[in-house]
Amino acid sequence: MTRTGRAGAIATALMICVTLFGAQATGAAAEAATVIAPPPVAAEPVAEDAPRFYAEEVVQPLPEEAAPSNPATLAELVETMPADAQLSRDLQCLAQAIYFEARGEPLAGQLAVGEVIVNRTTSGRYPSDYCSVVTQPGQFSFVRGGRIPSPNEDSLAWSRARAIAQIAHQDLWQSAAGEALFFHARYVRPGWASSKVKLAAIDSHIFYR
């Protein structure tokens, strides 16, 4: 082979190498291009009222309970009683007895009268409901023919009698009359009083067990 032919063969070989190398480099670059990560997608804004999820338990503090009322006097307790409470027929009888027997008395005297009626229903010696105790013959002078008269429902005295009836029924206030089952007005001296234990004298009434 002549020098000119040898040079031509070398040039041809070099061209083939360049072509092959270029083809491999182009393939590698194309392959690398296929693994490029897509650009990050911007997070969409979260609406303020959208539900939120937390990986850990979230403990929310509970609102503090209202402190229970602790009236210092019977008058304060009367004021806390619901004025528009729907009374049962039995509680209505109790309130009417307090109204007619002691509406002119201080609240302590009204409560003592109510306590006597409540005590009688649990004594086993009298009927077990307020209406029957109040309407029992010969027990309360305001009862006529076994019937309790109607109170003035628009009066403050009736509102207080209703409150006292609820307090006595629920035993919400300790009465000076305690476990009394009997009482009478100061201006009378019944024969039975001498055989009873005197517990308290409140305004115009004296209470016994």
Residue 29 token pair: 């670059």
User: pTM for this structure?
Assistant: 0.67
DSSP 37: P
Q: Which residue has the tokens 């009698």?
A: 161
Domains of the chain, CATH where assigned:
74-177 (1.10.10.2520)
Q: Which residue has the tokens 């392959």?
A: 31
Q: pLDDT tens for residues 124-142?
A: 999 999 999 999 999 999 9
pLDDT at 4 over 70: no
The candidate with the shortest Cα–Cα distance to 94, out of 175, 165, 179, 182, is 165
How far is Cα 187 from Cα 191, in angstroms, rounded to an integer?
A: 13
Q: pLDDT tens for residues 157-177?
A: 999 999 999 999 999 999 999
Average per-residue pLDDT for the chain: 79
Q: Which residue has the tokens 């306590």?
A: 115
Residue 176 token pair: 């000076």
Q: pLDDT tens for residues 15-31?
A: 544 444 444 444 433 33
pLDDT number for residue 83: 83
Longest dimension (CA), the chain: 165
